[in-house]
A and B are shown apart, each in its own frame.
Chain A
Amino acid sequence: MSFKNEPLTDFSIAANRAAFQEALARLRSSLGRKIPLLIGSQQILPHQWMPRRNPSHPNELVGLIARAESIHTDQVLAQAESAFPAWRRVPLPERAAILQRAARRLRERRFELAAWEVMEVGKNWVEADADVAEAIDYLHYYADQMLQLQDQAPLAQVPGERNLYRREPLGPGVVISPWNFPLAILTGMTAAALITGNCVILKPAEQSSIVAFHLAQILRESGVPPGALQFLSGMGKEIGEALVRSEKIRWIAFTGSREVGLKILHTASELAPTQGFVKRVIAEMGGKNAILIDQDADLDEAVLGVAASAFGYSGQKCSACSRVIALRPILERFLDRLIQTTQSLPIGNGEDPSTVIGPLVDEAAKEKVLRFIEIGKSEGRLAFQGTLPAGLQGFFVPPAIFTDVKPENKIAREEIFGPVLAVMAADSFEEALEIANNVPYALTGGLYSRSPRHIEQAAEEFRVGNLYINRKITGAVVGRQPFGGLRLSGIGYKAGGPDYLLQFLQARTITENTTRHGF
């Protein structure tokens, strides 16, 4: 087995640009359709629908998404329960083949799916393309990993005794996925659960349910039986909680906000009257990620790396940089150049190929970010705020950079999920590390330095889940940068890493005495 990452699209090739434009144009003619629920082998059209609007053009209806009700949650749970015994017995090579088939289908429809992301959540071309590529990676990677896990014989054996270690699926579970990587994160959690033999109920974020529906369809076309993969869109409050609470659910894989993550942990820990097991929760819950700028940093690199990390997809990534801690001697020069760079980043609609900063995902996200900018003005100094080009109608917030921020300020501690950056000064490298570590989150972090000693020190003391040195802090690659946070950033093993699948498995040890009386 040799896993290889799916290459990103080279947009310097004219034919690729033309193909992407064409995918966008074709998609425009199929917008506004109804997206049903997938319960068992049925497509269900409920009574209520949620309109999804293009964040770049709120007047454009991307689709009408089914809004599930409690009757539907009962149905999916029953279906998942009854499908589990058969699905778990499907031989692993067959399950792996299904995932690989799904990967091929994703690849065939790559630009179409990326175009959906542009329309549904306002990604730009490069971000959308990378998200689809990452989804393909997860399918291949976890199939590969499971085949390797299967081959392992970890137990010591002695004469007269046979020891078996058997890894088994947990049972039906629910995947609650975020909208910011509509395909990749959803596919990662789902593929891991399926390859290990679990039944999955997909509950995608309301903002990205159309892309999620396409994945569910692709997985089914590729051979996942209807009960093993169901699609239930709707409001988190109405159906998410009921799913988490159900005693038919063995596990919950969640990526999203800390608030919801902690609530899921709480709810999942309560035993229903007849429930005879403890639920397993895997939760990835955000970050307040910092990049340190040492005084010997290569500014050409640091400025570009910080701008990409802080403002790519308008900062709507859990890995995004929202704090910069610069050593005082370099602060001013760094800041000057960063502001000029940020000023030069094109703001525009997702479908415009030059766009670097696109819209926020919806009105609520925009309001929240604007509130934080107001808070920032009272806490620090607004050193820069971009201006929106004329004619934009979407949920845009221009990038903002704050200076004179204190580590205890709200904008230096709370996840904003928008293009807002807090810049702080440190008098020593040690102080910079301390400020960086002194938040409850610990997901990603970065360092720009050319001091071998400081690089070593950061590797030791900058205690985040993913530390990046002299490069941007977003864009972890499956199999190369297993991704996941510590502390309040999450519980669980790293996605795209060698341990991830273990969370969807339980092990049983079987020991047989093979000697017989009289030997």
Chain B
Amino acid sequence: MDPTEAQIREIERQLYTSAQAQWNEVWRSHRWEFQVLRWCLGDPALRTRILRFIDCLPALTDARDVIRHLREYFPEREGRLPAALRLGLAATRPSLLTAPAVAAATRRVATGMARLFLAGATLEDAAGPLRQMETSGFRITVDLLGETTVSQAEADRYTTSYLELIQRWSSSLASPVHLSLKLSSLAFPFDPIDPEAAWRQAAPRLKSIFQATLDKGGFLNIDMEQYSLRDLTLLLTQRLLEEYFPSASSIGVVIQAYLKDSEEVTRRFIQWAKQRGTPITVRLVRGAYWDSEVIQARQREWPCPVYTEKRETDACFERLTDLLLENHPHVRIAVATHNLRSIARAIVRSRQLKVPQERWECQVLYGVNEAVHRAVLRFGVPVRVYTPIGELIPGMAYLVRRILENTSQTSFLAAGLIPAEELSYEL
């Protein structure tokens, strides 16, 4: 075995052992929720229905409506009633099994689940968990969950809510502002058919958010979405920096390793960063839209943009890890994964390439496989937790929708149950 590979395996083993040691503590703090999750997601036939039910739950306005949908989604008799709901009902006395009681129990269960993956409804609501993470040594980036932006008015509201978050940040958190943002929420239409029009609309909003972030000494990450928006997203980010912020470095973009052309795009981006002269951050992820990319490509008879074998994506992730680390004078690197092997490789390669620690970090998802978060942190690698904030039940529905779009990624939820298990879900 070549020595690098041997080192990677050794570090992966150490991380694994450490994660296992963390597991009990994580389990204790979320015992009830994990039990519910295990019951819900253990049955594949039931799983899709549960996810679909949660998806529509925020739209149900009154108790009768909740009951009607429960019956439609789960027509089985009592014995097959979703475990989650039975558990929620257990807290209610049988004599109180009225519609409002069942509806309230349903919402309580969903809220409990939501709390696993959302830090809170608002920054203030999330302050507790966020501070605790900070105290434990984690770094944080916050993503505001919301409805799809379907008008310019909504793009304005979205911008405002980010600006307000920036202003209020320091009242809840000690670390500087660190946000993750989707450009599609800042413009409507946001259509690659006319990059100029997308720029005209998104630029003023993006500029104001980034300026406010800079004023607070913070950082803004531009998240990546579907493949169709990839070039547009990079283009707009680069143009923003060229036209308005030629010397800014507190901004990041995302590279998705599951895209077949990601290596080429990364090389071009590094070239651009080199010429620009000021390094910015690249977050490396595997990619979270795999199912919908595959489905859409097939529906449209377009070439499939993503690797169809997971090991191809894994291999690409490793190549890109190397490529980015090799270029550490020109880019900062965020290795976003829960995969211990991927993390171990980044650790080994960064040592070999003598990458100063301030130039790279690990990023993980809030609520997902916390044992891994802790293990990596203990290893001395900075860990930033990608933390969604949003109204709990609607927020949960948005997360669920992402899972429904990516049915194979239900492992994202299930993985919370299995220590140090390999994850397919990525930022």
Contacts and interface: CB of A to CB of B under 8 A. Distances in A.
B151 interface: yes
A125 B194 CA distance: 11
B43 interface: no
Interface residues of B, number: 34
Contacts of B192: 11-12
A8 interface: yes
The 7 A-B pairs with the shortest beta carbon distances in the complex, nearest first, are A340-B151, A12-B192, A450-B56, A354-B194, A354-B197, A300-B148, A11-B193
A78 to B, nearest CB: 44
Give the interface size class of chain A: 35 or more
| Residue with the highest number of chain B CB atoms closer than 10 Å, among A4, A7, A14, A340 | A340
State the majority secondary structure of interface residues on B: helix
A298 B55 CA distance: 9
A451 interface: yes
A343 interface: yes
B231 interface: yes
Interface in B149-193: 150-154, 188-189, 191-193
Contacts of B73: 452
B121 to A, nearest CB: 19
Nearest to A454: B72
Interface stretch (B21-29, B59-67, B360-368): B59-67
A296 B59 contact: yes
Given A12-B231, A14-B231, A451-B68, A341 B150 contact: yes
8 contacts: A10-B228, A296-B69, A307-B150, A340-B151, A344-B153, A354-B194, A354-B197, A450-B52
A12 B232 CA distance: 8
Given A5-B301, A345-B189, A354-B194, A340 B154 contact: yes
A343 B151 contact: yes
B301 A7 contact: yes
Interface in B339-354: none
A353 interface: yes
B189 A354 contact: yes
B309 interface: no
B147 interface: yes
A298 B60 CA distance: 11
Given A11-B193, A12-B192, A354-B197, A450 B150 contact: no
Interface in A427-452: 450-452
B300 interface: yes
Interface in A1-41: 4-8, 10-12, 14, 17
Interface in A279-310: 295-300, 303-304, 307
A297 B59 CA distance: 7
Contact of A299 (B55, B147, B191): B147
Contacts of A300: 147-148, 150
Contacts of B301: 4-7
Contacts of B197: 346, 353-354
Contacts of B191: 354
Given A295-B65, A341-B188, A17 B193 contact: yes
Given A295-B59, A303-B150, A340-B154, A452 B72 contact: yes
A47 interface: no
A74 B300 CA distance: 45
B395 to A, nearest CB: 14
A2 to B, nearest CB: 12
Contact of A451 (B55, B72, B228): B72
A411 to B, nearest CB: 24
B384 to A, nearest CB: 29
Given A14-B231, A353-B193, A353-B194, A296 B154 contact: no
